[in-house]
A and B are shown apart, each in its own frame.
Chain A
Amino acid sequence: MAVMQATLPRRILSTPTAGPLAALILACAFFAFKSDQFLTGGNFSLIIQQVMVVGTLAIGQTLIILTAGIDLSNGAIMAFGGIVMTKLAVENGLPPLLAIAAGLAVCAAFGLANGLLVMKINLPPFIVTLGMLNVVFALTHIYSQDQTVTNLPPAMTFLGQTFRVGGTNVTYGSLLTILLFLLFAYLLSQTAWGRHVYALGNSPEVARLTGIRTRRLIVGVYTLAGLVYGIAALLLVSRTGVGDPQAGQTDNLDSITAVVLGGTSLFGGRGTVLGTLIGALIVGVFRNGLQLMGVPSIYQTLITGILVILAVTVDQLSRRRTR
């Protein structure tokens, strides 16, 4: 057959995660040179623990951004889910697993609500989720009466416990986060559902005309994202050991940062969930490395901001080139 495969260099160049990966490796090399504590198993385990909550939120965010949407409510949904699970278990005496399931269901329900509003009334996702952010934030504080939930049953913080891999302590939560990334990478790249998500992000009309049930797909994506936020809530609860109504207030923007740094286009239809993992790690590595170098934390924020603007600029320029 006369059809050739793309050559290897071309494939690497056309891989959207190549740039972010190069940036991550460069950053690691730089910090390894600057601090001898950086390149240790313990430090990497710490970085992963630091990024796993935002990273998990960013998985849901990636799904939604791939459909050319955006979700400002994910951190708030996670905080509410965390309060629901911990309160049900501690104050209502529900078995921990049941309480966790209820928290996951509540988060999925908020995702469903976002999806229905976007699909049925055809509102811009930015506005829908901005409204939802405020609604859920308020509900969290009303329901928790601004009280932190403590004395959690051990089953609820299980994911915060560690096991040893070659002399390094790794939390079960880190493992779950990595598995989630792999699962969604598989779903997006190897299944028809994934292809349809990309097609929808390219153009809803094209997707519809090829026979994809776009309305059902949108609602499904937002609901699934909500469920993932529920898992992020569980990770957060097990990492901090409490149900905190103040949690996750900047995580919506941090998750968008991870997605964008990972090379996913805010215009939809382009990007990968493994890119998002790299994006989350870039943020984590910069924070951690600068901290090890003794740079004040406000400069970490400054540098993250510059990185985001750089990433979006690269995306915009590469789009212009292909048009």
Chain B
Amino acid sequence: MTPVLQARGLVKRYGHVTALDGADFDLMPGEVLAVIGDNGAGKTSLIKALTGALQPDEGEILLDGKPVRFRDPLEARRQGIETVYQDLAVAASLDIATNMFLGREVRKRGPLGTVFRMLDKKRMREESARHMEDLKIGLRSLTQPVESLSGGQRQGVAVARAVAWASNVVVMDEPTAALGVKESGQVLDMIRRVRDRGTPVVLISHNMPHVFEIADRIHVQRLGRRVAQLKPADHNMAEVVAIMTGAMTVTDGKAVVADKGAAEAIGLS
């Protein structure tokens, strides 16, 4: 099976700091892939490179097996890669339908649209309603401003927008970080539904229980590289954290203690 999105040997340097040091990445069709790593491991740089927010110095990115190059986020979006940013997702005072179509507005047919540039608000509302229903996001009204929604509903709007436009990949950066328990659960349900519709999801998260609950595979990033690809079923949380921090390494699919002192410190040997 060809990975939907793939990266080989990505390198990104900022002066003397190497953010990405030959990082690989593979996202398979129809999966939820969690990307985890300690602070400074290069998670954010990796995701930014994959979504066009930064340009790697070396290495290549392949979409459906074909090499691609994104000069800015807009180009990645045009290729069907949508990103949900943690707290930069929606314009607060605008309504839900407007947010869904922000930057991609639909104009009326005929001279009203072409000459007078009039928006087709009805159509945008109807299509928004359909997308919200697909993801089972219950909302009273699509004309209410997003700021009147709860944090979870707001995130729901952002996810719905990403899913609506993502033909290839949805990337979510810490989508539950700012949410409470119940709302986080709603977002995780939503991620499942997105996957079940056939769109693969990349989930960046610090929250191990969430990762274990929802991920089909885990990409562990450390010191600017991918150090392991795991299945949550094969490892427990403590092991994964140990791999993430370098206390253990993965050899032939088995986690092996690499740093005895560190492993003992977290009670793993």
Closest chain A CB from B99 CB (angstroms): 8
Quick one: which of A3, A4, A203 contacts B91, CB cutoff 8 A? A203
Give min CB distance, B57 to chain A, whole Å: 23
B140: Cβ under 8 A from any A Cβ: yes
Chain A hits for B73, CB < 8 A: 209, 211
Known contacts A199-B91, A202-B91, A191 near B119 by CB under 8 Å: yes
Query: CB-CB < 8 A to B125: which residues of A?
Result: 3
Nearest A-chain residue to B74, judged by Cβ? A211
Q: In the complex the two chains form, is A270's CB within 8 Å of B93's CB?
A: yes
Binary B-proximity of A33-67 (CB < 8 A = 1, otherwise 0): 00000000000000000000000000000000000
Contact with A along B78-106 (1 / 0, CB 8 A): 00000101001111111000100011110
Output the residue of A1, A192, A195, A210 with the most chain B CB within 10 A.
A210
CB contact between A3 and one of B98, B103, B107, B139 (< 8 Å): that residue: B139
A-contacting residues, B122-155, CB 8 Å = 125-126, 129-130, 132-133, 138-145, 147-148
Quick check: A192 and B105 within 8 Å, CB to CB? yes
B175 to chain A, nearest CB (A): 15
A199 contacts B102, C-beta separation under 8 Å = yes
Indicate if A317 sits at the interface (CB-CB under 8 A): no
A192 near B107 with CB under 8 A, answer yes
- Decide: A5 and B141 in contact? CB cutoff 8 A: yes
User: A6 contacts B143, CB within 8 Å?
Assistant: yes
> A253 within 8 Å of B by Cβ?
no
Q: Which residue of A lies closest to B112 (CB)?
A: A190
- Closest Cβ–Cβ distance, residue B148 to chain A (whole Å): 6
Cα–Cα, bound, A2→B139 (Å): 9
Q: A196 contacts which chain B residues (CB < 8 A)?
A: 102-103
- Are B92 and A195 touching (Cβ within 8 A)? no
- Bound together, the chains give a CA A190 to CA B77 distance in angstroms of 25
Chain A residues bordering chain B, tally (CB within 8 A): 30
- Interfacial chain B residues near A212, Cβ < 8 Å: 102-103
Q: Which of B83, B89, B119 contacts A190 (CB 8 A)?
A: B119
Inter-chain contact B129/A195, CB cutoff 8 Å: no
Interface of B is mostly: loop
A139 and B77 alpha carbons, distance in the complex (Å) = 47
Q: How far is the CA of A211 from the CA of B75 in the complex (A)?
A: 9
Contacts of B126 in A (CB 8 A): 1
Q: Nearest Cβ in chain A — how far from B165, in angstroms? A: 10
Answer yes or no: A151 CB below 8 A from chain B CBs: no
B132 adjacent to A206 (CB under 8 Å):
no
Residues on A with C-beta less than 8 A from B77 are 211
B103 and A191 contact, CB distance less than 8 A: no
Asked if B148 contacts A195 (CB within 8 A), the reply is no
Q: Tell me if B254 counts as interface (CB < 8 A to partner A).
A: no
Is A146's CB within 8 Å of the partner chain B? no
Is B54 an interface residue, CB under 8 A from the partner? no
Q: Does A92 contact B (CB under 8 A)?
A: no
* Interface pair A195/B142, CB less than 8 Å apart: no
Could you say which residues of chain A place their CB within 8 Å of the CB of B90?
Answer: 206
Residue of A6, A190, A205, A323 touching B118 (CB-CB under 8 A)? A190
B88 touches A198 (CB 8 A): no
Chain A proximity of B169: nearest CB distance (Å):
16
CB pair A323–B132 under 8 Å, yes or no, is: no
Tell me if B91 and A269 are in contact (CB < 8 A). Answer: yes
> Lowest 7 A-B CB distances belong to which pairs?
A192-B105, A211-B103, A202-B91, A210-B103, A199-B91, A3-B129, A191-B117
Which residues of A does B touch, CB under 8 Å?
1-6, 11, 14, 190-193, 195-196, 198-199, 201-203, 205-207, 209-212, 269-270, 322-323
Q: In the complex, given contacts A2-B138, A3-B142, A202-B92, what are 14 additional A-B residue pairs having Cβ atoms less than 8 angstroms apart?
A: A2-B129, A2-B133, A192-B107, A192-B117, A195-B119, A198-B93, A198-B94, A199-B91, A203-B88, A209-B83, A211-B74, A211-B104, A269-B93, A322-B148
Cβ contacts A to B, 18 pairs, < 8 Å: A1-B126, A1-B130, A3-B132, A4-B141, A11-B143, A190-B118, A191-B119, A192-B105, A192-B119, A196-B102, A198-B91, A199-B94, A201-B93, A203-B92, A205-B88, A206-B89, A207-B102, A269-B93
